[in-house]
Amino acid sequence: MYVTPKKRLGQHFLKDENIAKKIVSSLTLTDDTSNVLEIGPGTGVLTKYLLNEKKINLKVIEVDTESLDYLEKQYPQLKDKMIHADFLKCEINKIFDNPFHVIGNFPYNISSQILFKVLEHKDLIPEVVGMFQKEVALRLASTPNSKEYGIISVILQSFYSIEYLFTVSPQVFLPPPKVQSAVIRLTRNERKSIGCDDKLFVQVVKTAFNQRRKMLRNALSSFGEGIKNINPKYLTLRAENLSIADFIEITNCLSEGK
């Protein structure tokens, strides 16, 4: 039996066993038993190595029926551990009774959406190891004062430390994507909350980066009189110059001005 990669699902099946092993070994499993959810297992190139790890309690979630049929035949031990669903639409808190790690060769067309879904359930998901388009991976792991640093960098790094692990060539996929890929690891930090109004924080970050070439005094002008409460040292900077702590301080200043 063979699984046909489906363009509509953004499927590019990894075929390099060494890279598959490297991805699985990037999980930092410290407990005797660790719950792990694999998103989009496809032909099971990661799955086989996850199943070999005795401490892993594995479940896989897959929207493609053909892949599920293939996995059921190839890996009988997956019986009752396969979820036929779209990760973006499923009820995360019903997958495991306890927190769980996430791993996957993520479809590039929904990779950012997967991470925002993870963020919604950040207290359930201590770690994510995933394959992304290289450009996206660089953006996610970027730091202030770099051209890649942006909205998604700030919002995700508020709750996760993000490491760029390694680059992956198009030739190790079937079919080869037209872009380079990369594997990154997200590790939940100790922050329970960001210490400001969450919704306003996101609004401030998005507004600042949507006009990233402008100094903050102009980029945040839509906040009206509230910007008078912002420390003047920030007003001549651009969004890409600001740390997460800076954005939190700015958000609190704007809250006080309401």
Question: 1 in a domain, yes or no?
Answer: no
Omega of the bond prior to 175 within 30 degrees of 0, cis? Answer: yes
CB 114 within 8 A of CB 88: yes
pLDDT at 8: 79
Per-residue model confidence as pLDDT tens digits over 199-227:
999 999 999 999 999 999 999 999 988 89
CA distance 185 to 190: 16
Beta strands in the chain (DSSP E): 13-14, 34-39, 56-62, 82-84, 101-105, 127-133, 160-168, 173-174, 181-188
My answer on whether 66 and 168 are in the same domain is yes
My answer on whether 85 and 137 are in the same domain is yes
Contacts of residue 81, Cβ cutoff 8 Å, sequence gap at least 6: 58, 59, 60
Q: Identify the CATH number of the domain in which residue 207 sits.
A: 1.10.8.100
Beta bridge partners, 184, equal 130, 164
Domain end (from 161, 188, 215): 188
- DSSP β-ladder status, 173-174 and 13-14: antiparallel
Per-residue model confidence as pLDDT tens digits over 234-246:
999 999 999 999 9
Whether the pLDDT of residue 258 is over 60: the answer is: no
pLDDT at 225: 87
Residue type at position 225: E
Please give the residue range of the domain that contains residue 166: 7-188
Rounded to the nearest 5 percent, the helix, strand and coil shares of the chain are 45, 20, 40
Per-residue model confidence as pLDDT tens digits over 43-86:
999 999 999 998 999 999 999 999 999 999 999 999 899 999 99
pLDDT at 13: 85
Beta bridge partners, 207, equal none
Question: 18 in a domain, yes or no?
Answer: yes
Question: 180 in a domain, yes or no?
Answer: yes
**Mean residue pLDDT across the chain:** 93
Q: What is the number of domains present in the chain?
A: 2
My answer on whether 96 and 151 are in the same domain is yes
My answer on whether 116 and 223 are in the same domain is no
Q: What is the DSSP letter of 121?
A: T
My answer on whether 174 and 207 are in the same domain is no
My answer on whether 104 and 150 are in the same domain is yes
Q: What is the DSSP letter of 172?
A: G
Question: 2 in a domain, yes or no?
Answer: no
Angle separating helix axes 134-141 and 111-120, nearest 10 degrees:
30
My answer on whether 71 and 180 are in the same domain is yes
* Stated pTM of the model: 0.92
Q: Identify the CATH number of the domain in which residue 13 sits.
A: 3.40.50.150
pLDDT at 9: 77
